[in-house]
Amino acid sequence: MQRIPTGVPGLDHILNGGLFAGAVYIVRGSPGAGKTILANQVCFGHVAQGGRALFVTLLAESHARMLQHMAEMDFYDAAVIPGSLYYVSAFRTLEEEGLKGLMDLLRREIRSHRASLLVLDGLLAVEETSTSDREFRKFIHELQAHAALADCTVLLLTNGSRAEYHPEHTMVDGLITLDDVPYGKRRQRELEIKKFRGSASLRGRHPFRITNAGIVLFPRLEAFLPAGTNDGPGRRMSTGIPDLDGMMAGGPLRGTSTLLLGASGAGKTTLGTSFLGRSSADEPGLHFGFYETPYRLIANAAAIGLHLQPLVDAGHLRIVWRPPTEQVLDDLGNTLLDAVRRYSVKRLFIDSLGGFISAADAPERLSAFFAALTDELRAMDVTALIAVETPNLVGPDIRVPIDGVSALAENMVLLRYAEYRARLYRLISVLKVRGGGFDPRVREFEISDAGVHLRDSFRGAEGLLSGYGHPGPGEPPGIQPRPAGHDASPPKRG
C-alpha cells in the first residue's frame, strides 16, 4: 500500500511512514487544538511533494480569513494556490442541498482538480445535518468508496458532539485525536493515534507544539527507542581528573553512563566540565545544560584552569543550552539525541537531570524515559556523565529524585559536604563501577584556580558520610598536612 508522507515533523515517525493513499481518516479535537493548522500543513507538504490537494470547508469562516492566519506559517506558499491546492466553501451547498448535494460537490471537485488529498473541515456540520445515524454512516461509506476509486486520501476534521458513541469511528481507516491537556498550571498539546488500519503506529500520547513552522511533534522516547545493542567491552575513558581515574580503575568504560550525585555546589559541574576538557577530534564532546549559559559555563571553567573556548573554536566541543522554563520532556530528549548524532559525540555531560524532571508531564514516566535515553546513548557508544542534584546538603541520607534511576547507570560517584572539626569540606567517593573494581575511600574534593585535586585528608576519621565526621581511634590531632599557605576553607564555587 502506497504511503502519503504528511510532512509534519514527527508525525510520519509516529505513523510508521505516513498515511495510506485512498484511506479516510478522522482528525478529532476541541476548538483550538490545532486541527486546521495540521490539515493545512499536510496539504502544503503534499503539494510540495508533487501531489494535488483540495480543502473543502463547511464552516462559516471565509477562506480569506483562514488563509490570512495560515500565511504567518513557514509552510505557507501562496504560489501553489489555486493551482495545486484549491480551496472550496461548501457551507451553502450543505445548507441548501443537504448531504446528497455535498457528496455531488465532493465528487465533482475531486475529479475536476485530480486531487490526491482531500480535507473536509467541519464533519460536525454533516453530522448535525443528518436526520439519523444511518444517513450519517451512509455519507461516510459513500465518501470512502469514492476516495478509494479516486486513490484520494481524505482527512475529516471534527470537534465531535457525542461523548461516547461514534459509529463513524468504526468505519474509517484511522482516528487521530488532538488534545490540550492541563498539567498543574500549565497545558500541553498532545496527539494520539487511536486507530490506524494497515500498519503499526506509536501508541500513546505524543506532545506537540504549534510554532511559526507549524505543528512540530515530539514522539515519546520510551515508545520508539530500541534497546541498546552496544554490549561489547570498551576501553576506559579519562574523567579529566587523574586521581578520580585512579579510583575508578582508569575511568568509566566507554559507552557507559555515570551519575554524579551531590547537593548544590558540591562540584558536579566542575567534574563534568573536567570530563569535557578532554574532548578532541577523536572524542567530540557535548555539554547539554539548563542552568548556565554557554558564556557563563566557559568563564567559570576558565576560572579553575579549564579552558573550553579553544575546544569550542576547534569544533571539538558543542554546548547546547535550554533555559529551565516550561519545556517539553520529549523535545529535550530528541534535541539531545539529534545533537549527539549530528556531531558524532563520544563525551557527553548532562547538567543536570533536574532540567528533565521539571519538564516531565507525568513523574511516573521518568524512569522509562531515562532507560530509553541511556540505552540509546549506549548503542551510539557515548560515554555520559549525568549530574543529579540531591536535596540534602548535609546528612546521612542520599535521596535520588527518580525511583530506579541509579539502576540505569553503570557508575555512580557521590559528592557530599561534611563538617569536620568546625570546618566544612567537600567529599568524593565512588559508589559503583560496573566492569571493574574501584577505590572505596572517602577523599576530599578540592577545587581551586589550579584545578581539581583529591586529597587523603581524613585518614582515620569516622562518620564522614553522615555529614558530621569525628576522629577515629588513634587518629592524631588535626587533619593531614597541607601545602604551606593553603586555605582549608572550601572555595565558594562548586
> Quick check: helix, strand or coil at residue 360?
coil
Give the residues across from 78 on adjacent strands: none
pLDDT per position as a tens digit, 287-333:
999 988 999 999 999 988 899 999 999 999 999 999 888 889 999 99
| Radius of gyration of the chain measured on its C-alpha atoms | 30
Task: Please give the angle made by the CA atoms of 35, 36 and 41, to the nearest 5 degrees.
Answer: 100
Q: Is the pLDDT of residue 493 over 50?
A: no
* pLDDT at residue 492, rounded to an integer: 42
Integer Cα distance of 120 and 196 in angstroms: 19
Going by their DSSP bridges, the two strands 257-262 and 285-289 should be labelled as unpaired
Integer Cα distance of 277 and 297 in angstroms: 12
| Residue 277 contacts residue 308 (beta carbons within 8 Å) | yes
Nearest to 27 by CA among 63, 55, 68: 55
Give the residues across from 156 on adjacent strands: 26, 120
* pLDDT at residue 278, rounded to an integer: 94
Using 50, 70 and 90 to split pLDDT, how confident is the model at 235? confident
Q: Measured in Å, how far apart are the chain's first and last C-alpha atoms?
A: 58
Place of cell 535515553: 373
Q: Is the pLDDT of residue 130 over 90?
A: no
Q: Is the pLDDT of residue 414 over 50?
A: yes
Integer Cα distance of 249 and 434 in angstroms: 11
| Residue 415 contacts residue 425 (beta carbons within 8 Å) | no
Integer Cα distance of 380 and 227 in angstroms: 11
Distances (CA, A) of 342 to 316, 336, 345: 13, 10, 8
> Quick check: helix, strand or coil at residue 209?
strand
Domains and CATH numbers, the chain: 3-219 (3.40.50.300), 242-471 (3.40.50.300)
Q: What is the DSSP letter of 132?
A: S
Task: Please give the angle made by the CA atoms of 18, 10 and 16, to the nearest 5 degrees.
Answer: 35
* pLDDT at residue 224, rounded to an integer: 79
pLDDT per position as a tens digit, 252-269:
999 999 999 988 888 899
> Which of the pair, 436 or 349, is modelled with greater confidence?
349
pTM above 0.75, yes or no: yes
pLDDT per position as a tens digit, 78-92:
999 989 999 998 888
Q: Is the pLDDT of residue 392 over 70?
A: no
Q: Is the pLDDT of residue 479 over 80?
A: no
Q: Is the pLDDT of residue 477 over 60?
A: no
> Which of the pair, 369 or 167, is modelled with greater confidence?
369
* pLDDT at residue 106, rounded to an integer: 94
Using 50, 70 and 90 to split pLDDT, how confident is the model at 228? low
CA atoms within 13 A on the CB side of 189: 18
Give the CA-trace dihedral at 222, 403, 416, 474, to 10 degrees.
-130
Q: Is the pLDDT of residue 242 over 60?
A: yes
- List the single range of 49-63, 143-157, 312-326 with lowest mean pLDDT: 49-63
* pLDDT at residue 165, rounded to an integer: 59
Q: What is the DSSP letter of 181?
A: E
Average pLDDT (205-229) is 85
